[in-house]
Amino acid sequence: MTTVKILGTGCPNCRRLEAVAREAAASAGVDAEFVKITNIDEILAHDVFATPGLVIDDKVVSTGRIPTAAEIRQWLGR
């Protein structure tokens, strides 16, 4: 089971990142649990200071931008 965390305070980019990540997980056939982190302290605890941040299995894979679905599929595939 893969855990995918979306770090963001609820800005439009965070919602979009979640949509893209869900789509990527679905199309890659990965069984993933999605967690949304909106608390600023928890976001900072990941050493992320530009949202949206994407964390896959406790590893920060992208910050401050929206990756493409293809990129996320690659990260999920590891």
Give min distance, CB of 49 to another protein, in A: 4
Which DSSP state fits 78?
Answer: -
Kindly tell me which of 33 and 70 has the beta carbon lying closer to another protein: 70
Active-site amino acid positions: 11, 14
Q: At what angle do helices 69-77 and 12-28 cross, to 10 degrees?
A: 60
- Which residues sit at the interface with another protein, rule CB under 8 A? 8-9, 11-14, 20, 40-41, 43-44, 47-52, 64-69
Strand-strand pairing, 2-7 and 53-56: antiparallel
Return the number of the residue (30 or 69) whose C-beta is nearest another protein.
Answer: 69
